[in-house]
Amino acid sequence: MGNSADWEAVVPDPDSANDAAADRLLGGFESSFVIPSFDDNDSPYLNRELSWLAFNARVLALAKDPNVPLLERVRFLSIYSSNLDEFFQVRVAGLKDQVAGEVALRGPDGRTPVEQLRAVTDAVRRLTFDKQQIFKELVRPGLVANGIVVRKVSQLDQADVDYLDELFRERIFPVLTPLAIDPGHPFPYISDLSLNLAVVLRDSNTGRQLFARVKIPNSFPRLLALPSVEEPHFVLLEDVISHHLDALFLGMEIESQQFFRVTRNADLTYEEEEAEDLLFAVEMELRRRRFGRAIRLEVSGEVDEQIQGLLLDELDLAPEDVFVEETLLDMTGLAEIVDIDRPDLRYPAWTAVTPPALQPKADERVNMFARLSEGDILVHHPYESFTVSVGELIHQASVDAHVLAIKMTLYRTSGDSPLIDALVRAAESGKQVAVLIELKARFDEQANIGWARRLEQAGVHVAYGLIGLKIHSKTIMIVRDEGKKIRRYCHIGTGNYNHRTARLYEDFGLLTADQQIGDDLANLFNQLTGYGRDVDYQRILVAPDQLRPALRDLIREEAAHGADGRIIMKMNSLVDPELISQLYEAAEVGVQIDLIVRGICGLRPGYSGQDNIRVRSIVGRFLEHSRVYFFANGKGTGEPAYFIGSADLMPRNLNRRIEVLTHVDEPALQSKIDVVLDVLLDDDQLAWILHADGSWRRQSEGVGSNAHELFQHLALAEAFEGR
């Protein structure tokens, strides 16, 4: 039993083997180019959870796309698995809570929590089967054919076995803690997402059957390199431990063993109204998260019914909560393979360019304040550099003697953020620095608590957000004394202030010295750190007060133009029933609507027979993350209106978060957005099209226009011309 992944597949011809495997996988759900609908309702609204699973299926499809480099396909398997873990930790956990609470309220699509949970479970089982087939028939043979092999200990020669024996004895064995399970030793706590080994033992003296659990430590790499060969050959850590179980249970007969993994409810729940100290409340909930209720049990290989029964009883789970992995348990560990030094098996390296507006002249460093005084700059990441734009703006502000204050919102950032260093430096030099840190950014709570404490120690004014609202906006305001006047320099973006994810996430950022935007952000920051209401903003739309009614008015205004109306929206998720209903109404009077939705889409194109709404999803090398809203006729102006910002069209964004969209008014910057939208709408390689039945279909079979590659070429060409 145990982890049954068999890497010793015979691959006589890598190309023909993969072609044959791909042929076997084509057709129905297994096709690389069709994802049949998980949602068989006839409601005007597609189910949120099933739509998210369809998004993860599009990620999974990249793992079997022969046009994607091999190690990138491994990465997408890992990303798919990590995504699914979080989905269970939060969304499935929420459904189970509703079922336990006997909540019978139907969602917009008409399903009860029980019905949603049943549909989700069925869809995940279909996805799990497809994932296993991709790994077994496509990815694993491809790795073996390229000399990347994970062997079983039983398949190794004596030199490698001796090496692993010593490694186990000297380094691994001292870390392991076998835990007995009997009346004197209660069932141990199984931590969230940990890899474990359940063991059935027999006492050779008494004949008594015993149970034990061994946690696979995460202090070692999951894949242990074998030194006997030059090519990357590995053995799984858990296989080494399994092979040496007799050293952990001396004098015992090992009857069977089973690898397993438990997923727990990881959503935080706290009463903000009753929390005198939000920082303390979040810290307490983080501790409780470790002990969240079990949601899912994954087991590998042939199921040991005795072990499974014990685990289900102790974890208070039902048989339908069990997912059997026939290949490799916890494919998030495959991420370690991606780091192998094989650039020929990855996407070509990409380094973001310096946009023409920020290129230095005569080898002199660009003065960001002087440059922004000349006009706005719109940067498009990861094609244009985050470091030389946003990073440089914050750096220069931190050391500029004329800068009086820096204010920003911080939702997520990296573990080694140069922005944090710059803010600390600015505060220590006497500048007024205020940072609104969102402590409730899911799965980044602990990191944000750490940043908050470091900033406070440096003298930064730190605010932890508002009761009942998450601060999700991406905003910076720098106040500078320029002699005759005080001037504000601002950034409003669609993505987080994270220099690492800015290399992978597609986002827009507006850098500006516009006085109206400066006034707007000054009012916003004052409202967030102090008190205020009914603020009249000039160039920005702020949720939860202004954004929903403003979008509603913009859609209605476009509908008033009938067939001359045109709406393009790009976002991560479209769920809000009210705005979906308004888009339906606009389409019915002839408005042409294109929606570019990376993830969840609750709108069903073609509903009621109309075909004026088209929905596509771009999934590829870079994570589409920007939010862009275009209305051809604006709000009663007759001029097109362009907005970028942080908000998706979900009830949480519109009702329970601080979000900011900003107008983009300069024609040159509008043209830049036009180019991006046109490229995305013309893409016929990365694009998936949503159909009325809820299915998704690839535009082509890997030939044609690839938006991400075209954006790279455009960025390079523009950077070269700017020199």
Reduced to 3 states, what is the DSSP secondary structure of residue 439? coil
Model confidence, pTM: 0.91
Return the DSSP state at 349: P
Q: How many CB atoms lie within 10 A of CB 395?
A: 19
The Cα 719–Cα 360 span in angstroms is 12
CA angle 348, 352, 353 (to 5 degrees): 120
| Higher local confidence (pLDDT), 722 or 515 | 515
| Residues 448 and 475: beta-carbon distance below 8 Å | no
Nearest Cα to Cα of residue 691 among 614, 635, 597, 626? 614
Q: Give the C-alpha distances (Å, rounded to integers) separating 452 from 178, 283, 496.
A: 38, 12, 16
Q: What integer pLDDT is reported at residue 7 of this predicted model?
A: 52
> What is the spatial distance between Cα 169 and Cα 218, in angstroms, rounded to a whole number?
17
Instruction: Say which residue, 88 or 453, is predicted with more confidence.
Output: 88
Across 47-56, 177-186, 372-381, least confident range = 177-186
pLDDT tens for 253-262 read 999 999 999 9
What SS3 class is residue 484?
coil
Query: Using CA atoms, how far apart are residues 140 and 151, in angstroms rounded to an integer?
Result: 12
Percent of the chain with pLDDT over 90: 71
Could you tell me where in the chain the CATH 1.20.58.310 domains are found? 28-146
Architecture of domain 540-721: 2-Layer Sandwich (3.30)
Residue % of the chain over a pLDDT of 70: 88
Q: pLDDT grade, residue 442 (50/70/90)?
A: low
Residues 481-538 pLDDT 10s = 999 899 999 999 999 998 889 999 999 999 999 999 999 999 999 988 887 677 889 9
Question: Is 28-146 assigned to CATH 1.20.58.310?
Answer: yes
Residue 145: both structure tokens together:
């054919």
Residue range(s) of every CATH 3.30.1840.10 domain in the chain: 152-339
User: Domain 152-339 class?
Assistant: alpha beta
211-220, 358-367, 417-426: least confident range: 358-367
| DSSP one-letter string for 532-550 | --S---SSEEEETTTHHHH
Q: Would you call 663 a catalytic residue per the annotation?
A: no
CATH 3.30.870.10 residue ranges for the chain: 361-529, 540-721
Report how far residue 209's alpha carbon sits from residue 304's, in angstroms, rounded to the nearest whole number.
Answer: 15
What sign does the CA torsion over 607, 613, 619, 622 have?
A: negative
Q: Side chain identity at 535, as an amino acid letter?
A: V
- The answer to whether the CB of 73 falls within 8 A of the CB of 63 is yes
Domain 361-529 coded CATH 3.30.870.10: yes
- C-alpha 543/C-alpha 546 separation (Å) is 6
More confident residue, 461 or 494: 494
Given this model, what pLDDT does residue 10 score?
38
Q: Is the pLDDT of residue 329 over 50?
A: yes
Residue 716: helix, strand or coil by DSSP? helix
In this model, does residue 42 exceed pLDDT 90? no
* Residues 574-633: tens digit of each pLDDT: 999 999 999 999 999 999 999 999 999 999 998 866 789 999 999 999 999 999 999 998
Please state the rounded mean pLDDT for residues 667-681: 97
In this prediction, residue 288 carries a pLDDT of 52
Report pLDDT digits (tens) over 146-180. 999 999 999 999 999 999 999 999 999 999 999 98
**What φ, ψ does residue 67 adopt, rounded to 5°?**
-85, -10
Catalytic residue among 243, 380, 472, 499: 472
pLDDT at 102 over 90: no
Whether the pLDDT of residue 29 is over 70: the answer is no
Q: Using an 8 Å Cβ cutoff, are 490 and 514 in contact? A: yes
Q: What angle do CA 544, 547, 552 make, to 5 degrees?
A: 125
Label residue 182 exposed, middle or buried (CB < 10 Å: 0-12, 13-18, 19+). Answer: exposed
- In this structure, the strands spanning 209-215 and 179-181 are antiparallel
Tell me the CB-side half-sphere exposure of residue 64, using CA atoms within 13 A: 27
The 3-state DSSP class for residue 718 equals helix
Provide the pLDDT for residue 15.
44
Distance CA 421, CA 477 (A): 17
pLDDT over threshold 50, residue 13: no
